[in-house]
Amino acid sequence: MFSRIRPAHGFSLIELLMVIAVSATLAAVSVPILMDVSEGTKLNAATREIERELQSARLKAVSVNRTLRVRLNCPAAGYVRTVEYLGNAVDTSSNRCLMSAFPYPAADTELSTRPNYDGPLRILPNGATVTSRIIEFRPDGTAYDVVSNAPVAIGAPLSLTVTRNGKSRTVTVNGAGKITLQLQ
């Protein structure tokens, strides 16, 4: 009887080292790409947060028939708050965005005492910043740029730049109150 010699199964050391080398090369190439995708995703999230805050303020101004202002970088960089426009010196006070001075929800539920429609203080996610601006939405849905506490009609669309780690996205607001965002 003849005995058969079976060939050895498995991989040689050289084949295994080649697979590890190829895998390491692919990982080294893909990490920067994944980091860039992650950065873009975080910047897009912050841009959407600004767009949602503006859309919510416009909708609320129309629904409650009050003028609301979205204050960007208030009280500090990277913060956003929607506040009710009162038409007095309180609108320019340095503590207008502080939750301790103007809490959310309002301290009382009496609609005759104002402000009643101040929103929460929001922090832009992932360390993003935005152009310092105050955008006013009127009960008819129109938007104004507030300069030195005076509303100025928006002619050409107003651009708000959201920035994170040297990259930026833009949110635009036109005089009719239309809000659009540019994402990549």
Asked, for residue 78, whether it belongs to a domain, the answer is yes
Greatest mean pLDDT range, 31-40, 105-114, 169-178: 169-178
Tens-place pLDDT, residues 45-57: 999 999 999 999 9
What's the CATH code of the domain at 168? 3.55.40.10
Asked, for residue 8, whether it belongs to a domain, the answer is no
Asked, for residue 32, whether it belongs to a domain, the answer is no
What does the pLDDT read at residue 2? 63
Asked, for residue 80, whether it belongs to a domain, the answer is yes
Question: For residue 105, is the peptide bond before it cis, meaning its omega torsion is within 30 degrees of 0?
Answer: yes
Number of domains in the chain: 1
Which range (61-65, 115-119, 159-163) has the least confidence? 115-119
Residues spanned by the domain of 174: 37-182
SS3 140: coil
CA angle centred on 126, ends 120 and 128, rounded to 5° = 80
CB 51 within 8 A of CB 181: yes
Gyration radius from the chain CA atoms: 27
Asked, for residue 13, whether it belongs to a domain, the answer is no
Distance separating alpha carbons of residues 137 and 20, to the nearest angstrom: 59
CB 146 within 8 A of CB 153: no
Asked, for residue 46, whether it belongs to a domain, the answer is yes
Distance separating alpha carbons of residues 140 and 78, to the nearest angstrom: 29
Distance separating alpha carbons of residues 159 and 168, to the nearest angstrom: 12
Asked, for residue 64, whether it belongs to a domain, the answer is yes
Of the pLDDT bands very low, low, confident and very high (cuts 50, 70, 90), residue 95 is confident
Distance separating alpha carbons of residues 103 and 112, to the nearest angstrom: 17
To which residue do tokens 């590890």 refer?
20
